[in-house]
Amino acid sequence: MPGIGAEGSSLPSPAGSLPAPAIGWQRPLRAWLKRGWLGLLVATIMALLVLPPVWTLLQTSFSATQTDLSYGGLTLEHYRSLIQGRNLGNAALNSVTFALLATLVSLCFGGVLAWLVERTDVPMKGLAYVTTIISLGTPYILYVTAWLYLLGRAGPFNDFYRSWIDAEAMPFNVNSLGGMVLIEGFLWSPLVFLMLSATFRAANAEMEEAARMSGASIPQTVWRISMRLAWPAILALALFVFIRNLESFEVPALVGMPGRVDVLTTEIYRSIKEMPPRLGYASAYSVVMLLMVGVLLFAYGRISRHAERYASITGKGYRPRPFRLGRARWLAGCVILFNFLVVLALPLCALLWVAFMPFMRPMRWSAVKFLTTKQFDAVLSSPHYLSLGVNTLVIAVCTATIAMALTVLAGWLAARRQVAGGVIDQLVTVPLVFPGLVLGVALLELSLKSPLPLYGTTWLIMLAFTIRYMPYGMRYAYAGVLQIHPELEQAAGVAGATTGTTLRRIVVPLLWPSIASGWLFIFLICAKEMSLPLLLAGPDSQTISVAMFDLWSNGQGGEVAALGLLWAALMTLFASGFYAIMRRHAAKTFGH
C-alpha cells in the first residue's frame, strides 16, 4: 500500500492514497476528484478560453455568409474565392518574402552585434545594452512612424539627396517591400541581440580554446567551432523571428498598405474593415495563417530542443575570455555606434523633431524657428487622450493580473505533474499559433455571436489579451515553480496544510519575483500592442495605440509623435519604478 510520501510532490490526502478495491469504483473516483478538482477546474477554464476561438474560425470559414451573422450551410465557398483570387498567392508571397528578408536583416545585424559584445574586446559594450533596453520599451507604432518620417518624402535622407544631387528624384520610396523589410528588421534586431548574447555568453569558452590548442587559427575556430555550436540556437531564433514577422501587422499596415504592398495580415484586416465585413473570407485567410504558424511552431519546438541538447553538455566556462580584435577593434566599435544611431538616436531625434513641428517638414536649420509645443499642449490638455490613457492602463493592469493569476495555478499544476497538468500545459500553448490579428478576427466573430453583449467593450479586449499573453505568463510561472524545491510544499502538507493553503502561504510568496516579472512583461506589451484592439475596440474602448494608428491614418503625424513620446516616457518611468520596488521587496523577503 503506498504511503503518504509515495505520492511524489502531491500533497497528502489520505483518502487519495488508499486504494479500496473491495468497495467498488465510486471510492477511487471520489478520491481522485478530491485530489484533482483544482486541475480539472483550471483545465476547464483554459479550454473555455483557448478552444472557442479556434472553433469559431473554422466554423465561420466553412459556413455560408448570412446577413444576420448566424451560420449558413456548410460550404467551401470562402476557400474557393481565396484560391481563385489573385490576392492569396500575391499576399502569401509578399508575406514570406517580407518575413524572410526582415529576419535576415535583424539576424545579421543583431547577431554580429551580440557576438562582438559577448565574445570580443570591442569598446562601448554598455552602449549596446542601453540601446537595446530602451528600444524594447517603445511601442512599435512609434518606431514605425519615426522610420516612416526618416526614410519618407520629407525625411532627412531623401531631403539630402534632393538638395544636393537631384531636386526632382525620390531615391528611396519607403512604402515598398524594401522599406518594410528595413524597418521590421531594425524593429527586431534588439531582441535578436538579447537572445543571441545569452547564447554566446553561456557558451563554453573551453570549446574554442580546445580548437586553438589543436592548432586552429582564429577564423578557423570561429567558423568551425563557435558558429557550428551556436547554429541550433541561431536557427531556432531565426524561425521564431520569422514567425513573428509573418504575424506582424504594424509595419505592413503603416508602411506597406499605403504603397499597396499587401501581405496576409493586411489582407485579413482589409476584408474585415470592408462594408459589409467579409468574415468568412477573413476566417479562411486566418485558417491558412494558423496552419502556417502551427507548422512553423512545431519545427521551432524540435529545433530548440536540439539547441538545448547542445547547451546541456557544455561545461562550466570559467570567465568570459574574449577574442582580441587588435586593429579591427575600432571598426567593431563603429558597429556599436551604428546600432546606437539606428536603433535609438535617429528615431528619437526624428520623433522629437516631428512632435515639435507644426507639420511634417524636412530637418533643416531654417525650420527651427517653427518649433512649437502645440502638439504636446493638444495631447496634454485633451480629456479624450486622458481617458484613452486611463482606459489602456485599466486594460493592461486587469489583463496582467488575470493572466498571471491563471498561469500561476496552471504553472504549478503543470510543473508538479498534478492531475490534468499535462493537458493544461498543452492548452496554454495553443494561443501561440494565433497571430494577433487572427485572434482578433476570431474574437470578433465570437463576440458577434455570443449572447453576452461583449462586442465593442473593454471586456472583449481584456479577454483577447488574456488569451494571447497567457503563454508568456506561463513561462514565468512554470520556470519559477521549478526553482522551488518540492519538499518546501511537502513540508507544508505534512504540517497539515491543504492544497489551497499551501499555494497561498508557500508557493505564491516564494514565486513572487517570477509573478511580478511576468506581470510587468504582460502589462508592458498590453500597453503597446495594437493589432488586437484595432479590430476589437468600440467607440468607448479605444486604447492609446489604436488612437495613434487613427491619428497617423488622418495624417496627424505630429500628434502621434507627441502622444507616443509621452506614453513611452510614462511606461519607462513605470517600469523602472516597478523594478525598484520589486528589488526592495525581494531584499526584504529573501535577504539579499
Partner 1 sequence: MLNVRGLTKVYANKGDGPSGGVQEASFDLQPATFFTLLGPSGCGKTTTLRCIAGLETPDAGSIRVADTTFFDSAQGVSVPMNLRRIGMVFQSYAIWPHMTVFENVAFPLRVTKGEKLTGAEIGRRVEEALERVSLQGFGGRSATRLSGGQQQRVALARAIVLRPRLLLLDEPLSNLDAALRDEMRNELRRLQQQIGITTVYVTHDQTEALEMSDQIAVMERGRIVQIGAPRDIYFRPANAFVAGFVGTTNWLDGAMGEACGPGIRQFRLGDGRSLQCILGNQQTTGGARISVRPEKVVLRRDGAPAAAAHNRLDGTVVFAGFLGTMNRYQVDIGGSTMQVYDAADAAFTVGERVALDFPVADTVALDG
One of 33, 136, 210, 295 touching partner 1 (CB under 8 A): 210
> Whats the size of the chain, residue-wise?
592
Cell of 405: 493569476
Residues 520, 502 contacting (CB under 8 angstroms):
no
Segment near partner 1 (CB under 8 A), from 148-156, 162-170, 213-221, 422-430? 213-221
Q: Is 201 in the site for partner 1 (CB under 8 A)?
A: no
Place of cell 520596488: 581
Site string for partner 1, 274-313 (x = CB under 8 A): -----------------------------------xx--x
Q: What's the min distance (Å) between Cβ of 229 and partner 1? A: 6
Looking at the Cβ atoms of 40 and 311, the one nearer to partner 1 is 311
The DSSP code for 323 is B
Q: Is 220 in the site for partner 1 (CB under 8 A)?
A: yes
Report the sign of the C-alpha dihedral through residues 582, 585, 587, 589, in that order.
Answer: negative
- Residue 390 CA to residue 148 CA, distance in Å, equals 28
Q: How far is CA 351 from CA 176, 276, 382, 517, 556, in A?
A: 21, 37, 20, 29, 13
Q: What's the min distance (Å) between Cβ of 212 and partner 1? A: 5
Q: What's the min distance (Å) between Cβ of 121 and partner 1? A: 13
Q: What's the min distance (Å) between Cβ of 304 and partner 1? A: 15
- Residue 439 CA to residue 432 CA, distance in Å, equals 10
Looking at the Cβ atoms of 232 and 256, the one nearer to partner 1 is 232
Let me know the angle formed at the C-alpha of 499 by 493 and 500, rounded to the nearest 5 degrees: 130
How far the first Cα of the chain sits from its last, in Å, is 44
Q: What's the min distance (Å) between Cβ of 120 and partner 1? A: 16
Looking at the Cβ atoms of 34 and 224, the one nearer to partner 1 is 224
The DSSP code for 571 is H
One of 17, 75, 176, 314 touching partner 1 (CB under 8 A): 314
Looking at the Cβ atoms of 212 and 270, the one nearer to partner 1 is 212
Q: How many alpha carbons fall within 13 Å on the CB side of residue 501?
A: 11
Cell of 214: 589543436
- Residue 297 CA to residue 291 CA, distance in Å, equals 10
Q: What's the min distance (Å) between Cβ of 205 and partner 1? A: 9
Q: Is 212 in the site for partner 1 (CB under 8 A)?
A: yes
Q: What's the min distance (Å) between Cβ of 52 and partner 1? A: 43
CB-neighbour burial class of residue 414 (10 A; exposed 0-12, middle 13-18, buried 19+): buried
One of 120, 204, 501, 572 touching partner 1 (CB under 8 A): 204
Question: With contacts defined by CB under 8 A, how many residues of the chain interact with partner 1?
Answer: 27
Residues 320, 201 contacting (CB under 8 angstroms):
yes
One of 213, 327, 383, 452 touching partner 1 (CB under 8 A): 213
Q: Helices (DSSP H) in 420-529: which residue ranges?
A: 421-429, 436-449, 458-483, 486-494, 499-502, 508-528
- Residue 339 CA to residue 335 CA, distance in Å, equals 6
Looking at the Cβ atoms of 6 and 313, the one nearer to partner 1 is 313
Looking at the Cβ atoms of 207 and 582, the one nearer to partner 1 is 207
Looking at the Cβ atoms of 219 and 451, the one nearer to partner 1 is 219
Q: Is 209 in the site for partner 1 (CB under 8 A)?
A: yes
One of 321, 485, 583, 585 touching partner 1 (CB under 8 A): 321
Number of Cβ within 10 Å of residue 80's Cβ equals 11
Number of Cβ within 10 Å of residue 512's Cβ equals 16
Q: Is 315 in the site for partner 1 (CB under 8 A)?
A: yes
Segment near partner 1 (CB under 8 A), from 82-90, 154-162, 224-232, 450-458? 224-232
Q: What's the min distance (Å) between Cβ of 232 and partner 1? A: 8
Looking at the Cβ atoms of 321 and 585, the one nearer to partner 1 is 321
Looking at the Cβ atoms of 207 and 378, the one nearer to partner 1 is 207
Segment near partner 1 (CB under 8 A), from 33-41, 147-155, 206-214, 536-544? 206-214
Number of Cβ within 10 Å of residue 31's Cβ equals 18
Residue 146's nearest CA partner among 315, 354, 310, 299 is 354
Q: What's the min distance (Å) between Cβ of 63 and partner 1? A: 50
Q: Is 217 in the site for partner 1 (CB under 8 A)?
A: yes
Cell of 62: 466553412
Residue 557's nearest CA partner among 568, 549, 545 is 549
- Give the residues lining the site for partner 1 (CB under 8 A): 204, 206-207, 209-217, 220, 224-225, 228-229, 231, 309-310, 313-318, 321
